[in-house]
Homo-oligomer: A and B are copies of this chain.
Amino acid sequence: MLRFCTLEQAQDKLMDRTPLLDIELVDLLTASGRVLADDIFAGANLPPADQSAVDGFALGYGGREIGNQYRLTGSLRLDEVASFSLQAGEAVRVMTGGTLPAGSQAVIAHERNLLEGNLITLQEKISPGMNTKQAGEDFQRGERLLSRGQILDPGAIALLSAFGICQVAVHRRPRVAILSLGANAVPCQTDPLPGQVRDSNSPMLAALAQKDGAEIVFVRQITTCRQETLLPLLSQLLEQVDLIIATGGTYAGDQVEALQLMTQAGVEPLYWNVAIQPGNHQGAGIREECMVISLSGNPAACAVGYHLFATPVLLAMVGKTPYRPRVTARCINPFAKKANSRRFVRSHATWTPKGWQVETLPGQKPSMLRSLLDCNALIDIPAGSPPLTVGTEVSILLLDNSYVGLNAEEPSRCLIRMGPS
């Protein structure tokens, strides 16, 4: 059980067992960013009928040149559907969005043409279909609008509303509990005694999981009455949430508290100890539908472990692609440490017109918080690699979207560059 596994072995074990969460109906106004659980098809044409795109005159068949004339036979209200067909040489007044009568070849804007009495004289050349919207020109009845597994963006929300779909089936958001097991960690509001530190991992994990779409239902830092309190609490949470992220208690001289606790609560361990730095002492387990990810209490190891293990679980639970994008980047500063085991270095990546560059952040000791500030990427350094020098090409995992800076290429406004260069 305590044999070291590789990162990919651990991730595969997690992915093999991560359940896809069930489906709930949500209102369109709260559906943004959620993952669609069903394919959606167009129940009707959009637009539903041939319509006018301007306020003007619908023309029957007839001449299309300047000077050609049409006889105005009437007027259609916006909500009126004509019971007649336009005959050759006839015209009828229509409004933007109004349904065109059968026999319309085009619509002309009233302000651009000449109406004297009931006689319209064209002041512009006509092309068939001009100023009209054809039935189904945007979407055809029966067409697939959106696909299962698609993330609902604002455009998808607009489309659902246009088709009268006010509620939509999406995967439920993962319910997450965060449990700090560190024996010497105290909550933020407590003054630490000598030997104690304030728990910085729980709020960080809550912020990270929120960004990954989780609903944080429980955050607790446990220091007293450990045995009596922890086991019933863990058992209760295992019934109530989809993922428990624990931090701390993953390493001790003679016993692994987090693992013991999980086992006592009936959690089946999936892996324990992973051959990476920081955070080689960590693991995961499952009981029924609830996953448990047990991360190191060292802040840097906790953050790295979150990105490598908790993010994939949270994304897979709602049917999203679990892993972060990976690109090749060039180091802009050195990192002096040899990598005895595979190492994830907290860093800041930036896209530039010359390619991706990555800066190793200061404070890489696992106990330090400094390397977590502005951290938007992890450099993935294979075991046995020499120190990184300026210019080394490395593989990095992109953690968020802050890497394309406003001034990456050019001022964010005004500058316009066109044509093949």
Question: A residues within 8 Å of B by Cβ?
Answer: 8, 11, 28-29, 31-33, 46-49, 53, 55, 77-81, 95, 97-99, 110-111, 133, 137-139, 146, 152-166, 184, 188-208, 210-211, 216, 219, 253, 299, 303, 321, 323-328, 351, 353, 363, 365, 367-370, 372-375, 380-382, 385, 389, 391-395, 398, 400-406, 408-421
Instruction: Considering the complex, give the chain B residue whose CB is closest to the CB of A208.
Output: B154
**Oligomer: number of copies:** 2
Interface contact B139-A207, CB-CB below 8 Å:
no
A202 to B157, CA, bound (A): 10
Known interface pairs A155-B303, A161-B199; A189-B166 also in contact (CB < 8 Å)? yes
Give 14 A-B contacts (CB < 8 Å), ordered by A residue: A33-B211, A97-B195, A110-B253, A138-B365, A139-B370, A154-B208, A155-B204, A160-B203, A325-B405, A327-B410, A380-B416, A391-B420, A392-B420, A403-B404
What residues of chain B lie closer than 8 Å to A77, measured between beta carbons?
195
Contact present for B321 and A219 (CB under 8 Å) = no
- Residue pair B198, A162 in contact (C-beta under 8 Å): yes
6 extra interface residue pairs, beta carbon distance < 8 Å, beyond A158-B200, A326-B412: A28-B203, A78-B196, A97-B196, A138-B365, A159-B369, A160-B203
Closest Cβ neighbor of A403 among chain B residues: B404
Interface centre among A11, A162, A195, A418 (most CB of B within 10 A): A195
Q: How far is the CB of A105 from chain B (nearest CB, A)?
A: 19
Whether A395 lies near B415 (C-beta < 8 A) is: yes
Pairwise interchain contact B420-A321, C-beta atoms closer than 8 A: no
Q: How far is the CA of A28 from the CA of B363 in the complex (A)?
A: 23
